[in-house]
Amino acid sequence: MSSSVYIIFMAIIIIVLTAYLLYTGKHTILMNISPRHFTKINNEDYRLSLGPKIVAIGGGTGLSTLLSGLKGYTRNITAVVAVTDEGGSSGRLRQEWGMLPPGDIRNCIVALAENDNSLNSLLNFRFDRGELKGHNLGNLILLATTEMVGDFQRAVQELNKLLAIRGQVLPVTTETVTLKGETINGEKVSGELQISDNGSKLSKLWLEPSNAQPLESVKKAIDEADIIILGPGSLFTSLLPNLLLKDLATQLRYTSVPLVYVANLVTQPKETEGMNILSHIDWIAGVLGVVPDYVIANQAPIPEEYLNIYSKIGADPLYLSDKEEKYLQSLGVKVIYGDFIYIKDEKLLRHDIYNLTDSIITLAEESRVRIGKINETN
């Protein structure tokens, strides 16, 4: 057994032992608390079990950030994650082991875990030397589990159960797919990295093979959803790779529940440089054949110092003008504005997850009333 394989299987042993310790520790604590606290625990689980059924589609930091807010309102969450990632640890594992990229899936699982802070430090631990340099522990655990059970989808399901997350995380497909595109100059580009570098120049985007199928569990979750969220996240490399699956696009086109697009706060260098929110929606509508029912957009100003930092790397703020809003309204799209600016660690621009989640939960509850799942007076 090579040293890298040995360390991988040691990693899975570590996580199993950690889970066991957490499990036994939790139950030891429960044995020492008064009965009235059990009521609080049961009430919380019960409240979350009655929450709306939400399907969130995307990948990358945007999706995991959204999930971390939604889990406070419901445990009926399905995260549908793109599988075209080619960078970093995920890209290496895809190339060397032939597995689907685990990175975005790992981040979403951590985001939906009840104690995400502890899991975040464990599963996102990155090796800094040797053959495993650059790999995350969580990615290696998914690799080891995939090798043990023989199937990536089952490996993800096992990790969902092991960590008792609030919802489920699903790869959009278990087929190996490659993102392909063509620029306005007729140049063919292939793979996530080339697509990202040429995103704002693209005229066409597709997946190969073109007949790749979404998971049945993904389709089932969409059928049962109260609301479907697109984004936030990278347009061409996180969101659209999911929608390019033809059967999934058809299902979303004819869904009877609200389809909500969460606009990004700023453009992405190279990938969406020079694009506005309408350009993003045009691409989504071009793939789905329908515009979203709602667009959630930020209207709060970005602090000047961060605006300057992001502008220097080609990331410009995304706002809707009055003219653009009227155009969307003419298409039947409702725009929801809010203050969605949050500065993480005094350097990173992120969505304010509390304000964003409030907007989404409000729409989800309105949807449930409309389709008769709950009484309006409740």
Encoded amino acid at 277, one letter: I
- What is the mean predicted confidence (pLDDT) over 21-42? 49
Q: Per-residue pLDDT for 28 more than 50?
A: no
Based on the number of CB atoms within 10 Å of its own CB, is 218 exposed (0-12), middle (13-18) or buried (19 or more)? buried
- What is the mean predicted confidence (pLDDT) over 224-238? 97
Q: Per-residue pLDDT for 318 more than 70?
A: yes
Over the stretch 277-291, which tens digit does the pLDDT of each residue have?
Answer: 999 999 999 999 999
d(CA 87, CA 89): 7
pLDDT attached to residue 150: 86
Q: Per-residue pLDDT for 39 more than 60?
A: no
**Architecture category of domain 53-82+213-378 in CATH:** 3-Layer(aba) Sandwich (3.40)
Q: Per-residue pLDDT for 264 more than 80?
A: yes
Tokens of 257: 């529940």
Helices 116-123 & 3-31, crossing angle to 10 degrees? 160
d(CA 230, CA 260): 6
d(CA 201, CA 285): 18
Q: Per-residue pLDDT for 243 more than 90?
A: yes
- What is the mean predicted confidence (pLDDT) over 224-241? 97
d(CA 109, CA 141): 13
Q: Per-residue pLDDT for 296 more than 90?
A: yes
Q: Per-residue pLDDT for 164 more than 60?
A: yes
pTM of model > 0.75: yes
User: What is the band of 350 on the pLDDT scale with cuts at 50, 70, 90?
Assistant: very high
Encoded amino acid at 295, one letter: V
Over the stretch 100-147, which tens digit does the pLDDT of each residue have?
Answer: 888 899 899 989 987 656 666 777 778 888 778 878 888 888 888 888
User: What is the band of 2 on the pLDDT scale with cuts at 50, 70, 90?
Assistant: low
Determine phi and psi for 28, rounding to 5 degrees. -65, -40
Among 158-167, 276-285, 351-360, the minimum mean pLDDT is found in 158-167
According to DSSP, the residues that pair with 297 across neighbouring strands are: 337
* High-pLDDT (> 90) share of the chain, %: 65
Which residue shows structure tokens 């020492």? Answer: 32
pLDDT attached to residue 125: 79
Angle at 358 between CA 356 and CA 359, to 5 degrees: 65
pLDDT attached to residue 31: 46
pLDDT attached to residue 130: 79
pLDDT attached to residue 226: 97
Residues of the chain with CATH 3.40.50.10680: 53-82+213-378
Q: Per-residue pLDDT for 9 more than 80?
A: no
